[in-house]
């Protein structure tokens, strides 16, 4: 690689001081590829637990952008990304603040970039898969569509020494090359919290950018997603709030996502969302 390769690392946080510091520690202790320079942009979205002060004290070089407390994940990441784009970076590393990077994570991303240039003659998006810190089982990463009509998919687990293609991915560890951003921009404003990363990587694939899974696990992250519906022990009003919450079922955004990417499955998704909300006992039986 000739000359310096400048990367902006993007994070957003809200009241997870210990996890945020743990994540940053793993980032700054990771092996840096030759000629790589990184700048870190962190959106502190209204934290009241002293996250921003702790980061300033321990990592004074981190660029902190203050949010209004209502940005959620996608909004916080867009704010950090927008600020970073004011400078000239060769790539952007999206990183969840509850993710712990393995020492060779940045090396793996560099290797995947070299693979992309060699095989596709362009930069792309590179997925760093995470596993559970205790069980070591897959938690977040790339997904391969089994049916492009329904959107049915399977997880792609890393295979040692093999870089794999995928159709969409989580952004717990997600590298986006400059040329991708210049074409499709950043995360869509249509998404508040969930689905923004799936939408972004699917859109990249629509533009024929490679979306590649690094050959080994790049970090650890506990799967902290709640069960995606409430049981009938909860009041109907609470179940409807859960349906419409941007952090849970994100009803309107989920329907938009489905209509845009998998339009033929929209009636089925509509039915499933209301079934799990109005008749969760039947949904429980169906899922079993």
> For the segment 146-183, what is each residue's pLDDT rounded down to a tens digit?
998 889 999 999 988 899 999 999 999 999 999 999 99
240 and 283, same domain (yes or no): yes
Task: Give the CATH number of the domain where residue 130 resides.
Answer: 3.90.550.60
- Considering the domain boundaries, does residue 50 fall inside one? yes
Is 227 part of any domain?
no
Alpha-carbon distance 180 to 46, whole Å? 30
**Domain presence at residue 120:** yes
- Across the chain, mean pLDDT equals 94
Domain total of the chain: 2
**pLDDT tens profile 237-275:** 999 999 999 988 899 999 999 999 999 999 999 999 998
Q: What percentage of the chain exceeds 90 in pLDDT?
A: 87
Beta bridge partners of 91: 7, 177
* End-of-domain residue from the set 220, 251, 266: 220
Mean pLDDT of 209-223: 97
Secondary structure of residue 84 in the 3-state scheme: helix
Tokens of 75: 């909004």
Residue 251 lies in a domain: yes
| Residue 160 burial (10 A CB sphere; 0-12, 13-18, 19+) | exposed
pLDDT at 232 (0 to 100): 80
| Under 8 Å between Cβ of 8 and 84 | yes
Residue 24 has pLDDT above 80, yes or no: yes
pLDDT at position 228 over 80: no
Instruction: Beginning with the edge strand found earlier in the chain, give each strand of the sheet holding 5-13 in spatial order.
Output: 63-66, 36-44, 5-13, 91-95, 173-177, 125-127, 211-213, 164-165
On the 0-12 / 13-18 / 19+ scale of CB atoms within 10 A, 2 is exposed
Q: What's phi and psi for 63, nearest 5 deg?
A: -90, 115
Paired sense of beta strands 138-140 and 130-131, if any: antiparallel
Most confident of 75-79, 227-231, 235-239, 281-285: 75-79
- 1 pLDDT more than 70: no
| Domain containing residue 259 | 236-287
């Amino acid at each position: 690689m000739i000359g310096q390769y400048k990367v902006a690392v993007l994070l957003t946080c809200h009241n997870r001081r210990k996890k945020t510091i743990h994540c940053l520690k793993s980032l700054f202790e990771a092996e840096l590829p030759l000629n790589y320079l990184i700048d870190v942009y962190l959106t502190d979205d209204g934290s009241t637990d002293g996250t921003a002060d702790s980061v300033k004290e321990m990592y004074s070089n981190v660029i902190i952008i203050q949010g209004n407390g209502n940005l959620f994940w996608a909004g916080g990441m867009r704010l950090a990304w927008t600020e970073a784009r004011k400078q000239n970076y060769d790539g952007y590393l999206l990183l969840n603040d509850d993710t712990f990077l393995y020492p060779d994570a940045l090396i793996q991303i560099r290797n995947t970039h070299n693979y992309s240039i060699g095989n596709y003659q362009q930069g792309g998006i590179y997925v760093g898969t995470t596993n559970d810190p205790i069980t070591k089982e897959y938690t977040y990463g790339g997904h391969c569509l089994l049916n492009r009509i329904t959107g049915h998919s399977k997880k792609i687990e890393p295979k040692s020494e093999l870089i794999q293609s995928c159709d969409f991915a989580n952004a717990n560890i997600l590298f986006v090359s400059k040329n991708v951003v210049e074409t499709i921009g950043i995360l869509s404003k249509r998404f508040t919290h969930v689905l923004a990363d799936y939408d972004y990587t699917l859109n990249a694939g629509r533009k024929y950018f490679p979306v590649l899974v690094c050959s080994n696990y790049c970090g650890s992250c506990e799967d902290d997603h709640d069960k995606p519906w409430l049981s009938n022990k909860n009041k109907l009003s609470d179940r409807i709030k859960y349906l419409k919450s941007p952090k849970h079922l994100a009803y309107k955004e989920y329907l938009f996502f489905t209509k845009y990417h998998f339009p033929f499955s929209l009636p089925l998704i509509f039915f499933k969302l209301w079934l799990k909300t109005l008749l969760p006992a039947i949904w429980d039986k169906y899922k079993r």
